[in-house]
Every structure is written in structure tokens, then in C-alpha cells.
Amino acid sequence: MTQQLQAAGPKYMALAAELRDQIKSGRLPPGTKLPTRDELAATYGVAVGTVLRSFDVLREEGLIRSDQGLGTFVLAPGQPPAPTPTFTEMVAAINEIRDDLKLLRKRMDDLEKLAGGRDGA
């Protein structure tokens, strides 16, 4: 059964308001796993993108956190959101990707030499 969202503005804001009300009223207590984005989209008759945008709003407000592969959960008041990668961690990941690309480039050069130096012509 599809539930109607009550709002004059964007649907993602209306869905965020609905979920916020459920969280603040205790109908969705801390630790509760929210329905999947597909389930929420079907329940409220909106696109999955609308659900994702509403999650962004609630995440920014510190009401929910999403853990990849696990789901989206209601946070307790004052509970910190999921940690985000630090700048140092991101730089390390980029450097690792850069090293992998260098290795792939070298392997590609080696393969081209083995193939007789043909350049695809």
C-alpha cells in the first residue's frame, strides 16, 4: 500500500520530514534499521533517487547513518555519524591507485613489446 506524502515542496523534503517525524516521535527509535531504499520508494510511491536525497538530508541533520552493505540506521541523539575518510586516508588511497596505474602501464608496455611493437594498426 502506497502512503501519501504531505508537502507542497520537493518530494525528497517531504519524505525527509516524514521520516524525521517518525524518528523524533520514537516510532523509529535509535538503532532501528530503516527499510531499504527500494522498499521506501515503493511505500511512498517515489523514485529511489528521492529516497536517497531524503537520506542525505537526514544524514546531514545527524539523525541517520548508512553503513555500506548493512543498511541505514537511526542514530541516538548525540551519537556521532559514521566516520568519513580523513584527508590522509583519501590521499593514501589515491596514491595506491596511482601505483596500480603505473604497474598497469608498465605491463601494457611489456605486452606491446611482446606483440612486436604494433600500435593497433
Tell me if 28 sits within 8 A of 21, measured CB to CB. Answer: no
In a domain? residue 79: no
Of all residues in the chain, the percent with pLDDT exceeding 90 is: 67
The verdict on 101 and 68 lying in the same domain is: no
In a domain? residue 3: no
Tell me, what's the pLDDT at 2? 62
Instruction: Tell me what the mean pLDDT of segment 21-50 comes to.
Output: 95
The verdict on 69 and 102 lying in the same domain is: no
At 100, is the pLDDT very low, low, confident or very high (cuts 50, 70, 90)?
Answer: very high
At 98, is the pLDDT very low, low, confident or very high (cuts 50, 70, 90)?
Answer: very high
Question: Which alpha helices (DSSP H) does 1-121 contain, by range?
Answer: 11-25, 37-44, 48-60, 87-114
Whole-number Å distance between alpha carbons of 29 and 20: 11
The verdict on 15 and 70 lying in the same domain is: yes
In a domain? residue 5: no
Is a pLDDT exceeding 90 seen at residue 106?
yes
86, burial (CB in 10 Å: exposed 0-12, middle 13-18, buried 19+) = exposed
Tell me if 72 sits within 8 A of 61, measured CB to CB. Answer: no
Whole-number Å distance between alpha carbons of 67 and 57: 16
Tell me, what's the pLDDT at 85? 66
The verdict on 67 and 23 lying in the same domain is: yes
What is the pTM assigned to this prediction?
0.63
Range of the domain at 50: 11-74
